[in-house]
Structures are given as C-alpha cells and as structure tokens.
Amino acid sequence: MSTPFSRTFRAMEAESARAPLLALGLVSAFMLAGLAWLCFARVSLYETSRAAHLEAGASSNVIQAPVAGEVTASHLQLGRAVRQGDTLVVLDSSAASLQLDVERARHEARVREISAVEAEIGAQERTLDSERLTKRATIDEARTQADAARPLSRFAETEIERLEQMREKALISQVDYLRRRSEAERDRLNERTALQAVARVGAEMSTRQSDRLSTIEQLHHQLKTLEGECATSAAQISQLAFEVQRRTIRSPIDGVVGDLTVLRPGAYVSDGAVLATIVPAGEVQAIAEFPAGRAVGRIRAGQHARLRLEGLPWGQYGSVVATVTRVATEGRQGVARVELDVTRQSPIAARLEHGLSASVDVEVEQVRPAQLLVRALGQLAGEQALASAPSP
C-alpha cells in the first residue's frame, strides 16, 4: 500500500513544480504581447468639437428691407420653396408711384415741346433758305431795272445840256424846253430810284435774314434747355422707378425660406430690418469650430472625420462620414473654422438638412502607444518642472 501513495506524492510534487513555470510563461507571453502592441500598434488620435452644424454649400441670403415702409403684402412662409425673382414682401409705394406718374407726364410734355421746337427750327431754316433765294432774285431784278434806266439817264444828261444850248440861242421855245427838260429829269430820277431800290431790297432782306437767324438761335437755345430738362426728368424717372421697384422685395436665389419675421399687412418695417433668410437648395456641408491652438497645424484638408447629429440619435441612425476640406489658418477670438464635406453614402444622408447641430471627431494622426507614453511622461515632467520653479 506504500507504493501507490509514494507515486501520488511524487506526481503532486511534479505538478507543483510545473505550475510556477507555466504561470511565468503566461506572464512573459502577455508582457511580450503588450510590448509588441506598445511598439508596433497604431492608435488614432481625434480632435473633437461640440460646436458644429450643417449648412448649405452656398451661402444663405439674408433678406433685409432696403427702405423703411409699410407692408402691403407678404408671401413669406417657412419652408416655402422659392425661385429667383419670386416676390417675397411688398412695401407701400403709392407716394413714389404717384410722383413717378407726375414726372412721366412732365417728361412726355417736354418731349412734345422738343418735337415742336425742332419742327419750328426746321421751318425757320427752310424759310431762311427761301428768303435767301428770294433776296438774290429781288436784287437781281432791281439791278436789271437800274441797268435798264442807266442809258436813259445818260441820254437825259446829254439832252439837258443840248436843250440849254438851244435855249440860249433861242432855237426852242420856253415851253418845249421845260417839257423836254422835265422828261430828261424823270429819266435821271428813274435811275436813282432803281439804284435806291437795289440798296433798299438788300438792306430789308439782310435785316429779315438777321431776324430769322436770331429766331433760329433762340429756338436752338430753347431746344438745349428742353433737352437738359428732359434728361433730368428721365434721370428722375429712373430714380423713382428704382424706388418703386425697391419696395417689391424679391428672392435673389433659388432656395427655401429657412427663417422669417412674421409680417402682416399694415406692419411697419425699418430700413435694414431682417425679413427672412433664404437657404439655397443643394448639397450641405459641415462647419465646426475648434480651439485655434488645437486645430491650426493639426487639422488639415483630407483628414477623415465623423459627425454625430444631435437631432438624430447616433445610436439609432449612426454617424455621418465626412472629410476635412478647408481649415482656417488664423483663429478668430481663439476659434478656428473647419469646413467638412459630408458624404452622401451615409444611411441618414436623406435627412441631412441645413441648420442641424452636430459634434465632430476629426482623426488628426495615428501614433504608436509608446509614443503616447513618451508624450505623457514628457508632459508630466514639464508640469512638475513648472510646479517646482520658484515664483518670480
């Protein structure tokens, strides 16, 4: 009976000797695996932003009142799809429209006056040309008459001299002398009258032409004045038409009414008041704000990211895959803007809308755990050094 017990004791002693070796082997294997993971594994580091939202790829348009006025009609409805040029709000334009009608009537009257003055100038110029032709003909006729009277005048002068000689020699009676001298004087008078007629006709026609030219010049001056007034009224009409048009506020783009101010007919809006926001249709992008010290230099275009939408529980709908497209190189008030392109392959892509809030995780780098350990030790050493440094 002693033999079986001795064998049992020896087996128990052998097993108790192998247990520490097995435990040591397992510990060594775990340590080697941990060391390998520490030196060769890759761990992703993320930067997270809780201040993120979705917005349209194109900028939203804020609709402001260009002028102050009373609302006569409003076509604003949340979610309403609008096309470029659709009427959104109409402000009262009755005063400007009335003034526009008055100015248009004045402009039309000036246009008619201009047409009348131009017609009068044309008539005066045609009359002037006709008078010039008449002057030449009248002067030529008077000169012809003077030329015809000149030989008779020369003959009359000779006849008078001959009659004087005959009267002195008593070869002619006194009655014949007087009669024939009177006839000779008449011929001389006819020549002088013809010459005076030439001078008178020339002077009269010159005076008439001068008056006509003066009238034409006055008409031209009147025409320039009317044209200036017409140009001024045309500019005023354009200005008034612009003022009337400004009071009809239209959509500048295609999109959807994303926000609005409730307006009813009779309400008064001030100049520059925000009336609505038109969100352009199309793709959306994610906008995130990171602390500038953690974003600049670490977050770069092309890095992968994931979005978790606050309005859609990510446990149910999942996250949205995104890619960094642009990063601000300078922070504003300590915050850097990061823009991300949202992939449309996500299960909730159809529910991505402008204005949704989200949080963003951007994968900034992949490092080995050993590097993380070294960084942590270095940071700890730096903090201890700062803590032990004497205060100034």
pLDDT digits 0-9 by tens, 355-383:
778 888 888 877 677 666 676 676 666 66
pLDDT score recorded for residue 87: 92
pLDDT score recorded for residue 107: 92
Sequence-ordered list of residues with C-beta below 8 angstroms from that of 300, at least 6 positions apart, any chain: 324, 327
pLDDT score recorded for residue 289: 87
Residue bearing tokens 């087996």: 11
Is residue 212 scored above 60 in pLDDT? yes
Residue burial 355-381, b: 16+ Cβ < 10 Å; e: rest: ebebbbbbebeeeeeeeeeeeeeeeee
Nearest of 283, 296, 347, 350 to residue 321 by alpha carbon: 347
Give the phi and the psi of residue 49 in degrees, each rounded to 5.
Answer: -125, 130
Distance from CA of residue 321 to its chain's centroid?
Answer: 38
pLDDT score recorded for residue 1: 45
Separation CA 331–CA 336 (nearest Å) = 4
Is residue 322 scored above 70 in pLDDT? yes
| Segment 277-286 mean pLDDT | 78
Of 15-29, 146-160, 319-333, the poorest mean pLDDT is in 146-160
Write out the H or E segment, with its range, that includes residue 226.
Answer: helix 174-246
Write the Ramachandran bin of 170: left for phi over 0, alpha for psi from -120 to 50, otherwise beta: left
pLDDT score recorded for residue 320: 81
Separation CA 259–CA 79 (nearest Å) = 8
Is residue 184 scored above 80 in pLDDT? no
Sequence-ordered list of residues with C-beta below 8 angstroms from that of 337, at least 6 positions apart, any chain: 287, 288, 289, 327, 328
Sequence-ordered list of residues with C-beta below 8 angstroms from that of 338, at least 6 positions apart, any chain: 49, 287, 288, 289, 290, 295, 299, 324, 326, 327, 328, 360, 362
Sequence-ordered list of residues with C-beta below 8 angstroms from that of 349, at least 6 positions apart, any chain: 320, 342, 343
pLDDT score recorded for residue 228: 92
**pTM to 2 decimal places:** 0.53
Separation CA 6–CA 17 (nearest Å) = 17
pLDDT score recorded for residue 119: 92
Distance from CA of residue 283 to its chain's centroid?
Answer: 26
Is residue 352 scored above 90 in pLDDT? no
Query: Which tokens sit at 50?
Result: 């809780």
Query: Which tokens sit at 235?
Result: 């500019």
Separation CA 298–CA 312 (nearest Å) = 29
Is residue 319 scored above 70 in pLDDT? yes
Residue bearing tokens 């009258």: 193
pLDDT score recorded for residue 37: 65
| Segment 306-322 mean pLDDT | 74
pLDDT score recorded for residue 33: 72
- What the chain holds in terms of domains, given with CATH numbers, is 42-57+282-377 (2.40.30.170), 61-92+247-276 (2.40.50.100), 95-246 (1.10.287)
- The answer to whether 183 and 153 have CB atoms below 8 angstroms apart is no
